[in-house]
Structure 1
Amino acid sequence: EDMKKLGLDVNSEEDRIKMGDIVFKKYLTETNNAVRKHSQTATIFHNNSHIPRGDYGFINANTHLEVESLPTGGWGYDHFPLSAAYVRSLPNVEFLGMTGKFHHSWGEFGGFKHPNALIYETSLSIASGAGCSIGDQMHPLCEMNMATYGLIGKAYSLIEEKEPWLDGAEHIADIGVLSAEAILGSRDEKADVGANRMLLEGNYLYNFVDTTADFSKYKMLILPDVKIPCDEVIEKIKKYVENGGKVLATGEALVKDGEFFLDVGAKFKGENEYNPTYLIPQYETANGVTEYVMRCNSFRFDVTDGKVEAFLQNPYYNRTLEHFCSHMHAPNNPEETFPAAVIKGNVAYIGWDIFSGYAKLGHICFKELFNHFAEALLGKEATVLTNLPDKAVVTLTKQEKENRLVLHLLFAHTTLRGQNTEVVEDTVPLYNVLCSVKCDSKPSKITLEPEGKEIPFEYENGRVRFTVPKVDIHQMVVIAN
Structure 2
Amino acid sequence: MKFLRFLLFLQLPVFLSAQTPLRRSESFFGLHFDFHAGLSDTLIGKTLTDSMIDSLLVKVKPDFIQVDCKGHPGVTSYPTKVGHTPKRFEKDILRLFREVTKRHGVALYLHYSGVWDDEAVKRHPHWSRINAEGKRDNQKTSLWSAYSDSLLIPQLKEMSDYGVDGVWVDGDCWATEPDYCTAAVEEFRMRTGIQEIPKKKSDPNYGQWLEFHRTAFRRYVRNYTDALHQYNPRFQVASNWSFSAMMPEPVDINVDFLSGDTEPLNGVNQSAFQARCLAPQGKPWDLMSWSFGYGWDDQVLSAKSAVQLSQEAAQVISMGGGYQAYWTQHRDGSLKTYAYGTMAALAAFCRERQPFCQNTKPVPQVALLYSNTGYKSEITTVYNTGDGKHTAMIGTLNALLYSQLPTEILQEHHLLGHTKEYPVIIIPEWKKLNEQLRNELVDYARQGGNLIVIGSETVKLFEKELGVTLHSTTHSIPFWGFDHLITGTKATYRPFQLLPGTQPFGQWFSQEDTRFAQAPIASIASLGKGKIAGIYFNFGEQHYKRETYAGRDFLGTLVKQLFQPTVEVKGSKMVNVALNQKNGTTYVNLINMAGNHANKSIHANDEIPPLYGLQVSVKTPRRPRQVVLQPENKPLPFAYKNGKAVFTISKLAIHSIAEIKL
TM-score range, shorter chain: 0.7 to 0.9
Q: Secondary structure at the match of 2:303?
A: coil
Q: 1:332 to 1:467 in 2, by over 3 A?
A: closer
Q: 1:143 to 1:308 in 2, by over 3 A?
A: closer
Q: CA deviation at 1:44?
A: 1.4
CA distance in 1, matches of 2:366, 2:421: 9
Paired position in structure 2 for 1:349? 534
Paired position in structure 1 for 2:496? 301
Q: Secondary structure at the match of 2:239?
A: coil
Paired position in structure 2 for 1:218? 422
Q: 1:222 to 1:10 in 2, by over 3 A?
A: same
Q: CA deviation at 1:55?
A: 3.1
Q: 1:457 to 1:261 in 2, by over 3 A?
A: same
Query: Which residue, out of 423, 437, 442, partners 1:233?
Result: 437
Query: Which residue, out of 566, 570, 573, partners 1:387?
Result: 570
- Bigger Cα displacement from structure 2, 416-425 vs 188-197: 416-425
What whole-Å deviation, never above 9, does each CA across 1:355-391 have from its counterpart, x for those lacking one?
A: 111112224443333223112112xx21110025333
Q: How many residues align?
A: 449
Contact preservation (8 Å) 1:50, 1:68: no
Query: Which residue, out of 476, 484, 487, partners 1:285?
Result: 484
Paired position in structure 2 for 1:375? 560
Q: Secondary structure at the match of 1:13?
A: coil
Superposition map of 1:428-439 within 5 A: 428-439=609-620
Q: Secondary structure at the match of 1:423?
A: coil
Q: CA deviation at 1:396?
A: 1.7
Paired position in structure 1 for 2:458? 253
Paired position in structure 1 for 2:249? 56
Paired position in structure 2 for 1:449? 630
Q: Secondary structure at the match of 1:260?
A: helix
Paired position in structure 1 for 2:46? none
Superposition map of 1:76-475 within 5 A: 76-90=267-281, 92-104=282-294, 112-180=303-371, 183-185=374-376, 186=379, 187=385, 188-212=389-413, 213=415, 214-251=418-455, 252-256=457-461, 260-262=463-465, 264-272=466-474, 274-279=475-480, 281=482, 284-286=483-485, 292-305=487-500, 306-312=502-508, 337-345=518-526, 346-378=531-563, 381-387=564-570, 389-400=572-583, 403-415=584-596, 419-475=600-656
Q: Secondary structure at the match of 1:96?
A: strand
CA distance in 2, matches of 1:210, 1:183: 11
What whole-Å deviation, never above 9, does each CA across 1:414-459 have from its counterpart, x for those lacking one?
A: 3469845443311311111110011111011111222222111001
- Bigger Cα displacement from structure 2, 364-373 vs 38-47: 364-373
Q: CA deviation at 1:115?
A: 1.8
What whole-Å deviation, never above 9, does each CA across 1:5-64 have from its counterpart, x for those lacking one?
A: 123656612447456435423321221132122122322111238823673366745322
Contact preservation (8 Å) 2:293, 2:304: yes
Contact preservation (8 Å) 1:74, 1:420: no
Q: 1:388 to 1:192 in 2, by over 3 A?
A: farther
- Bigger Cα displacement from structure 2, 391-400 vs 468-477: 391-400
CA distance in 2, matches of 1:416, 1:124: 14
- Larger gyration radius, structure 1 or structure 2: 2
Runs ≥4 in structure 1, deviation > 6 angstroms? 330-336
TM-score computed with the length of structure 1 as normaliser: 0.84
Q: CA deviation at 1:298?
A: 0.7
Q: CA deviation at 1:338?
A: 3.4
Q: Secondary structure at the match of 2:308?
A: helix
Q: 1:143 to 1:309 in 2, by over 3 A?
A: closer
CA distance in 2, matches of 1:385, 1:165: 20
Query: Which residue, out of 12, 27, 36, partners 2:229?
Result: 36
CA distance in 2, matches of 1:357, 1:341: 15
Q: 1:211 to 1:261 in 2, by over 3 A?
A: farther
Contact preservation (8 Å) 1:67, 1:80: no
Q: 1:174 to 1:385 in 2, by over 3 A?
A: same
Q: Secondary structure at the match of 1:254?
A: helix
Which structure 1 residue ranges, 5 or more long, are not aligned?
A: 316-329
Aligned: 1:45 with 2:45: no
Q: 1:424 to 1:128 in 2, by over 3 A?
A: farther
Report the AA paired with residue 256 of structure 2. T
Q: Secondary structure at the match of 2:231?
A: coil
Contact preservation (8 Å) 2:577, 2:590: yes
Paired position in structure 2 for 1:24? 217
Q: CA deviation at 1:79?
A: 1.3
Q: 1:424 to 1:200 in 2, by over 3 A?
A: farther
Q: CA deviation at 1:303?
A: 1.2
- The alignment's C-alpha RMSD in Å is 3.1
TM-score computed with the length of structure 2 as normaliser: 0.62
CA distance in 2, matches of 1:384, 1:240: 23
Q: 1:34 to 1:388 in 2, by over 3 A?
A: farther
What whole-Å deviation, never above 9, does each CA across 1:313-347 have from its counterpart, x for those lacking one?
A: 5x5xxxxxxxxxxxxxx889989943432111211
Larger RCO (alpha carbons 8 Å, 6+ apart): 1
What's the % identity of the aligned pairs? 16
